[in-house]
């Protein structure tokens, strides 16, 4: 029997891939669709003769918030709340988690074979942070500039997804 938490993760990643495909198709008037799900990467996508690949990573506010969301969504698990706080320096804490998540993917040697076979892929970062605003993105950029990334060139671009209004928004993130 599959692990219930793994099923939630798989559904979340498929949803994130679908969000990216909709955005790419809208933006480029393409017809990308999933043709394989090897895991990793999450998906191989194709539009006409163009084949690309997609990897998804989730950036959580912190470990307690990740536990809160996952325990709430997973059938058979008791919900474990993030707690009452106080919460301090939340944007800085999230920015650090975001940079660690992106850096881990950009430096991962396991993606080199996919880059060699299909060219650079797309990295989708699912933002799970309830206080996201323009200041948060400033903190992310500041944190990014402070660090060093040994980018292996496996990703042609990074897209972030986040809740906005009653759905999700997808934007291209260009690390500075």
Tens of pLDDT along 15-62? 999 999 999 999 999 999 999 999 899 999 999 999 999 999 999 998
- Could you tell me the residue ranges of all domains in the chain? 4-173
Q: Helix crossing, 4-28 with 63-73: angle to 10°?
A: 100
For 90-138, the pLDDT digits (tens) are 999 999 999 999 999 999 999 999 999 999 999 999 999 999 999 999 9
**β-bridge mates for residue 162, sequence order:** 169
For 58-77, the pLDDT digits (tens) are 999 988 888 888 888 888 88
- Sheet hosting strand 33-36, strand order edge to edge: 33-36, 43-47, 50-60, 121-128, 155-164, 167-173
Q: pTM value?
A: 0.92
- pLDDT bucket at 78, cuts 50 / 70 / 90: confident
- What integer pLDDT is reported at residue 43 of this predicted model? 98
- Examine the pLDDT at 172 and tell me if it is beyond 90: yes
């Amino acid at each position: 029997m599959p692990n219930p938490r793994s099923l939630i993760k798989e559904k979340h990643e498929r949803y994130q891939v679908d969000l990216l495909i909709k955005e790419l198709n809208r933006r480029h008037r393409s017809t990308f669709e999933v043709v394989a799900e090897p895991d990793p990467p999450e998906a191989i996508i194709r539009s006409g003769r163009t084949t690309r690949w997609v990897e998804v990573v989730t950036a959580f506010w912190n470990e307690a918030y990740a536990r809160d969301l996952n325990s709430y969504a997973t059938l058979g698990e008791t919900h474990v709340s993030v707690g009452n706080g106080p919460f301090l320096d939340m944007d800085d804490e999230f920015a650090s988690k975001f940079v660690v998540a992106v850096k881990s993917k950009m430096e991962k040697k396991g993606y080199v074979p996919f880059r060699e076979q299909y060219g650079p892929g797309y990295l989708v970062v699912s933002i799970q942070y309830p206080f996201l605003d323009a200041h948060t993105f400033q903190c992310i950029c500041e944190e990014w500039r402070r660090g060093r990334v040994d980018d292996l060139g496996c990703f042609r671009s990074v897209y972030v997804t986040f809740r906005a209004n009653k759905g999700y928004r997808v934007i291209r993130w260009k690390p500075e």
